[in-house]
Structure 1
Amino acid sequence: MKVMTEQDFEAHRPQLRAVAYRMLGSAADADDAVQDAWLRMNRTDTSAVENLGAWLTTVVARVCLDQLRARRTRREVHVPDPIITEESGPDPEETAVMADGVGLALLVVLESLTPPERLAFVLHDMFGVPFDEIAPMVDRSSEATRQLASRARRRVRGQTPDPDPDVARQREVVDAFFAAANEGDFEALVSVLDPDVVLRSDGGTARPQLTLTLRGAQEVASQAALTRQLAPFVRPVLVNGLAGAVVAPKGKVQVVMAFTVVDGRIAEIDVLADPERLRDLDVN
């Protein structure tokens, strides 16, 4: 039997990080979970393991499940960690795998699931892991695990809008939003927002006044109009593969904004304004 090596592990790292990020909503926590899997592989006799990828996925999933259960005692996080890439040039493969098909709006809904529901949904619906392999991780039968995923799927479909697929078109709408904010044009702001738009902002413990949730075009437009002084410092980026922005007065990033554009209007805005988490993301 083959002894597994670091090279074998590295071949699976992008997929493992993608699983962990969808489970935890945090790039840093995802890296920790993957590192834990690496340590466990080194401590375990894997000579009889026939499918290392499946075995490692199970290890990472169990680590993530434990972390999710431990979060009951933590501060609520309103906006998950974004994956930020520049609009020009190819994305690094590992970053692309992390962000592919998982916008912040989806991650917010995943945060509302129970840990077993989230695990069943992520592993089965996003990575095609069979229910009979997931069932032992959540101490349920295959049929009960299927029901977990089904409940999660209904919630995800009911609460997560499907963004417009054309990123260039998304960018046009987001640019129109910032142009209207910069000009203080309230009516123009309202026109680019879905009537039921949701804005979520997370300022962390350092900026609690920026932790809020607003609903409706009038409310969100009013908030945007108040921050018009920041509009000149907006730099376009991709946030989890969708049109987004960083706001960096004097070159220091203060805010990351993710937009979900549906049918030519902004349906959701997720804002990360927590200085500590922005430092951890190493946004330039």
Structure 2
Amino acid sequence: MNNRSPVEDRVWAVIAHLSAIAMGMGLILPIIGWSESRRKSNYTSFQSLQALGYQSLGYTIWILVTLIVVIITSFTAVASITTIDNLDQEIMAIVIAHTTLMFGLIGVYFLLPIIGALTCAFGKDFRYPIMGNRLAKYLGYDDSQSIEEPAWLDEEHEERWVSSMGHFAVIILFWGMLAPVTAWIMQGNRSAFLKFQSVQAVVFQAGTLVLSMVSGILYFGGAAILFLSIGVSGFSNDLSPISLLGIVVFFGSMLCAAVIILLIPLLHIMGQWAGYRILKGDDYRYPIAGRLVEKWTSRKSNPQLEETSQ
């Protein structure tokens, strides 16, 4: 029996939807709302899971659409420049148009969760376009069910959805780790599957974040070494050994940084693929992170293995 008041259910649903405004930093709230509402309120659980999907999978689609729109409009704007007589004015117009477009796209992203929050505040059922009905079918959610004797959501599909969204969140730099970390903390002891997927998502995202930081260090570090070497040797027509070394280090660091930068989108795609595979019913494992996490979790679950390895 559900002992929670409808008001409390609505409050959690509103918070879950409004957390999308935090642009990644709010990922923790829908998972907490779902975790606290499991087997207590189908309404809150569904709305929280829906909000989680919007902030991870929905954000992924939104950022890809935004990039495509910006690229197309940028090329179109440059191609529309026919004369250099009013070049300054045309560039200013392009900048203003692109700024307006970006704010408009951000507004579109914020609009749906705000509508969802207002709808839930009045106690009504809200569904995101395209995703909402599909998720309801996937979870077995029916808002017309009796509150006294509800048929709870599909537990396996709940956990698969949360795990999948943790993988999809890899595209959100740094804050994306909040989703799998929160799921691990809140529900890791209850579900071995959710724990494993959350841990490997954290490891994978942490590795991606470290690579991003390394590329930045290589880029700025190489530039700093170049300027220092030139400053030490002084400006002259002949290259000193120190200047030559600085140039070699600079181009070497730039090359390494470029390779890492090209690798990061591939890692993002791998994270999206992991999320898709989990939704399709697979027990996905990353090539390296998956094996490491599997060994770690097996040792934690079997202390004798840990003692023998030592």
- Whether TM exceeds 0.5 here: the answer is no
TM-score normalised to the size of structure 1?
0.29
TM-score normalised to the size of structure 2?
0.27
Which is strand-richer, 1 or 2?
1
